[in-house]
Amino acid sequence: MNIDNKNNTSQEDLAFDKKGYKISIKEGEIMQITVSKSWGKIEIVKDLMEEVRRYWINKKDKAKVLVDLGLAPHVPSSLYRKSVVTFVKDTIKEIGFNKVAIYRGALVQGMVASFIIKAIGLKNIKYFKTEEEALKWLKEE
């Protein structure tokens, strides 16, 4: 890991923030998506949904997804929220998901997540305050 001594930020952290998100596979079956401070751009959401689609499109099992909003900025734009709903709905229709658990974030991010979940209208997407609560729900059958 390379460290930029000026602001004590690693190159990996800089790339993560520039891209807007990081994807990893947790416990072999759960896709974890962590969003960065640059998350509030529609192009980033679109790129993320494309990457999720590419990963899950040929899998036999439906996806379990854990989304960490801990670094997400406050994004007040209704156009942004509507775009997120559209991208997520389209991805869900194409791939199908077992469950999506969204957690953390400040009060505003939680409200935006709740809005998006209600707008999508699916029961298998929920918002949690902690990662532990979110993981427990994802693992329930």
Q: What is the pLDDT of residues 118-128, one digit of tens each?
A: 766 767 888 88
More confident: 31 or 84: 31
Residue with the two structure tokens 């609560």: 133
Q: Can you give the pLDDT at residue 137?
A: 93
Which H or E run includes 98? Answer: strand 97-103
Q: Enter the tokens of residue 21.
A: 């998100």
Compute the average pLDDT of residues 5-17. Answer: 56
Do 84 and 102 meet the contact criterion of CB atoms below 8 Å apart? no
Of 59, 70, 71, 63, which is closest to residue 100 (Cα–Cα)? 63
Q: Can you give the pLDDT at residue 132?
A: 93
Q: Can you give the pLDDT at residue 76?
A: 60
3 has a pLDDT exceeding 60: no
Domains defined along the chain, listed by start: 21-139 (3.30.750.24)
Measured CA to CA, the distance from residue 110 to residue 95 in angstroms comes to: 25
Measured CA to CA, the distance from residue 26 to residue 31 in angstroms comes to: 6
CA 120 to each of CA 9, 17, 70, 84, 112: distance values in angstroms, whole numbers, following the listed order: 36, 27, 22, 10, 12
- Confidence label for 26 from pLDDT (cuts 50, 70 and 90): confident
Its pTM stands at 0.75
Compute the average pLDDT of residues 59-76. Answer: 77
Compute the average pLDDT of residues 31-44. Answer: 81
List pLDDT tens digits, range 86-116. 887 788 778 777 888 888 766 566 666 666 6
